[in-house]
Chains A and B, each alone.
Chain A
């Protein structure tokens, strides 16, 4: 049993000590799955790192008690702490792509870990490893164990990670966002596995996640954290179903429901960005640019092929088909949601539309005009201005060495909208206000902003090109739920205000349900199903859509706030 009392972790710096977490209390019983939720920066991972003794330097435990069973975790020498790691406490990391050593076989990594904690022969360790992989659900384990990590798919890799974490029979596993990088189908398998391990092996899990759906599905108890402090803790049905703390309430409000559509998200207060400021210059300027009426997009039999891996010296490599005969009709002025798992071709579709890759066949029409494919589209083709894009990761989509002003005014001179530099600055500032940011942001650099603010800047940049068609590629998947709610509200407002047509790409079904008028489901480059969002979610026809919907973790209806 893990007991945490009054835990405080501090990070000394030149500017004094920064308190990452304080007054954290938590107990996790054997076999219990304890959810730890909160937004990024809430200190969830710091709690986990403190327990396993891997706080990144110069952080240290300033106060509190930490004990596992009879062992006081704070009194250990570094060597003793290292022995306990793996043996009694283990950890699962978020991204299975990066948490395995790429240069060693699975076998070597498993055997090494087993032998680090028990004195067994190579063959005994190997047998245990194979049995474990079988148990975890890796078929043909005796052979697959010889493979390197890159030869496994994402879900399989996360299973291997879990096998590595449990191969020494630990009492406690700290799972830090174990399913965030996985598709829903794989996520539900991994969650099942975690539940099974907790039940059968009586392993205690500390499940760190920002996804309340996941918590609702498998956690026995839950602790809500914010800014390094515990807001609320208790049994999951009680905390999520009848939250007493206003923050928990706000967090629950921000979670997009999967089973019905709500008009607007109620966003947690305090972030200070109250909706869209109306009636300013930016809005006028944008409306003025509406000489093109609503612009739709049609795709006809669009195919994209990539060169596959070369298998022989003399044969041409088999092409890899990323998109096959995609027909898509985005009605003018509507939001088309595009959902699918990773690798289904969602982003490829966006790239084909924006002319970043060349489709092998098919016709794309923007409004009534045929869009030239890929490189055939000239730099000055009108669609380069009419079609704009908001990318997934606001941390890498803004040039970190340019000021916000430079980033925002670029489309204005580039497309020749505004000749006067002063005027451009004014317009950029006005646009910042329109997307809910202070206009003085114009002199700052991207790194001075949070993820949500950066995504607002990215939206502002896209709008300053006076687009008629906006492609949002997973615009909120890198953001916290409350920030996600704000950005989604913003996009909805802007869309209705300026009659934009939006292609909204996401793997998150609940978000698409809230945003899209029509939805298309993409799988392995083929559209499985397409239709009005409400119909599609209420009465999915394709088996695949039904599976996706049933696997998405949801909160029981009675816990949801009336939206």
Chain B
């Protein structure tokens, strides 16, 4: 077990190094940082001096090492656009994106898993067909269209919910949260639904497929033959076995939700990392883009580690005894 976690951590280090390398390459190959920083009136000699000062003439590998050690010490450099430290810009934005992502995930699980179980147990029912059709439509429409439709219906026509921003936020430590005010929740609802729809469909269809598979398995048939009560059969025996593969996909998808909340954030003007990333692209703000890349990769690695641990928690076959 300890060995397993250690192995995973070592693997994660390599993944992070690879991503850091990609992020670093951005600096090297997307334009010349010196021309970005200086104006036309800076003399060539001054440019050269600056280049020397910033260490841009050092060998590639040294620069990369410096980049990595700086990152490890929490020094993410400065934005070209705002001249602020990138670390600050990102940490300001992380709460918004994380809250959005987590609420979207919870919505998709809270609806997706029961719907998946229901449609698996009554594969021919009318409700099942209706649910399958609706979700098919839901997944075929692009995210931004869903967002705009929701805005149109609930924001504009009905006027129930705000259409942009985070509403009221509360500062808890360094974390700016919108989960503690009614306004905040109202603002959160539409973007979270928009972001969660795709996840929801995927979760539901996956749960349904896995559950139907599990229901055909020998141990379910045996439990049926022993007269285990149906409720226990469905939820204790079948659902637990269903969740093993489902968790992997949900975990991977959650990383994706965080990474690709860009579209939703821009539709709802949600001040999260996605929006920051969009702005950075517009202004070729390479340091921010690089750090964004690294942070997102870190999320992916973290989520995957959690998924692996969940696996072990659910499936006793994976628990190897430590001596």
Which among A101, A103, A148 has the greatest number of chain B C-beta atoms within 10 A?
A: A101
The answer on a CB contact under 8 Å between B217 and A313 is no
The answer on a CB contact under 8 Å between B226 and A164 is yes
The answer on a CB contact under 8 Å between A103 and B315 is yes
With an 8 A cutoff between CB atoms, is A456 at the interface? no
| Residues 65-112 (chain A) with a chain B CB within 8 angstroms | 82-87, 89-91, 93, 95, 98-104, 109, 112
The answer on a CB contact under 8 Å between B227 and A168 is yes
Q: Which residues does chain B contribute within 8 Å of A102, judged by CB atoms?
A: 219, 241, 315-317
Min C-beta distance of A13 to chain B, whole Å: 16
Q: Which residues does chain B contribute within 8 Å of A311, judged by CB atoms?
A: 321-323
Min C-beta distance of A474 to chain B, whole Å: 22
Which among B228, B232, B320 has the greatest number of chain A C-beta atoms within 10 A?
A: B228
Per-residue A-contact encoding for B213-225, CB less than 8 Å = 1, 0 else: 0000111111111
The answer on a CB contact under 8 Å between A95 and B316 is no
Q: Which residues does chain A contribute within 8 Å of B223, judged by CB atoms?
A: 101, 109
Q: Which residues does chain A contribute within 8 Å of B17, judged by CB atoms?
A: none
With an 8 A cutoff between CB atoms, is A312 at the interface? yes
If A93-B218, A98-B217, A103-B241 touch, whether A150 touches B317 (CB-CB below 8 Å) is yes
With an 8 A cutoff between CB atoms, is A532 at the interface? no
Minimum CB distance partner of B323 in chain A: A311
The answer on a CB contact under 8 Å between A168 and B222 is no
How many residues on B have C-beta within 8 angstroms of the other chain's C-beta atoms?
31
Minimum CB distance partner of A167 in chain B: B226
With an 8 A cutoff between CB atoms, is A416 at the interface? no
The answer on a CB contact under 8 Å between B323 and A52 is no
The answer on a CB contact under 8 Å between B226 and A313 is no
Minimum CB distance partner of B216 in chain A: A56
Min C-beta distance of A56 to chain B, whole Å: 8
Q: How far, in whole Å, are A104 and B222 apart by their CA atoms in the complex? A: 14
Q: Which residues does chain A contribute within 8 Å of B232, judged by CB atoms?
A: 112, 116
Q: How far, in whole Å, are A103 and B226 apart by their CA atoms in the complex? A: 17
Minimum CB distance partner of A78 in chain B: B230
Q: How far, in whole Å, are A52 and B226 apart by their CA atoms in the complex? A: 10
With an 8 A cutoff between CB atoms, is A279 at the interface? no
The answer on a CB contact under 8 Å between B320 and A148 is no
The answer on a CB contact under 8 Å between A100 and B219 is yes
With an 8 A cutoff between CB atoms, is A426 at the interface? no
Q: How far, in whole Å, are A117 and B225 apart by their CA atoms in the complex? A: 12
Min C-beta distance of A492 to chain B, whole Å: 36
Which among B227, B230, B244, B320 has the greatest number of chain A C-beta atoms within 10 A?
A: B227
The answer on a CB contact under 8 Å between A52 and B222 is no
If A93-B222, A101-B219, A309-B320 touch, whether A82 touches B227 (CB-CB below 8 Å) is yes
| Residues 139-159 (chain A) with a chain B CB within 8 angstroms | 148, 150
The answer on a CB contact under 8 Å between A310 and B320 is yes
With an 8 A cutoff between CB atoms, is A299 at the interface? no
Min C-beta distance of A92 to chain B, whole Å: 8
Q: How far, in whole Å, are A165 and B229 apart by their CA atoms in the complex? A: 15
Q: How far, in whole Å, are A90 and B226 apart by their CA atoms in the complex? A: 6
Which among A52, A99, A117, A174 has the greatest number of chain B C-beta atoms within 10 A?
A: A99
Give the residue of B221, B237, B320 whose beta carbon is less than 8 angstroms from that of A104. B237
The answer on a CB contact under 8 Å between A95 and B218 is yes
Give the residue of A52, A83, A103, A148 whose beta carbon is less than 8 angstroms from that of B225. A52
With an 8 A cutoff between CB atoms, is A54 at the interface? yes
Min C-beta distance of A193 to chain B, whole Å: 17
Q: Which residues does chain B contribute within 8 Å of A313, judged by CB atoms?
A: 2-3, 6
With an 8 A cutoff between CB atoms, is B314 at the interface? yes
Q: How far, in whole Å, are A113 and B240 apart by their CA atoms in the complex? A: 18
Q: How far, in whole Å, are A85 and B218 apart by their CA atoms in the complex? A: 16
Give the residue of A52, A83, A98 whose beta carbon is less than 8 angstroms from that of B219. A98
Q: Which residues does chain A contribute within 8 Å of B244, judged by CB atoms?
A: 103
Give the residue of A89, A93, A101 whose beta carbon is less than 8 angstroms from that of B237. A101
Given contacts A112-B228, A310-B320, A311-B322, 12 further A-B contacts (CB under 8 A): A85-B224, A85-B227, A86-B226, A90-B225, A112-B232, A113-B226, A116-B226, A116-B227, A116-B229, A164-B226, A313-B2, A313-B6
19 contacts between A and B (CB under 8 A): A54-B221, A54-B225, A82-B227, A85-B226, A93-B221, A98-B217, A98-B219, A101-B220, A103-B244, A104-B236, A112-B236, A113-B228, A116-B226, A116-B227, A148-B317, A164-B226, A165-B226, A168-B226, A309-B320
Binding site for A on B (CB under 8 A): 2-3, 6, 217-230, 232, 236-237, 240-241, 244, 314-317, 320-323
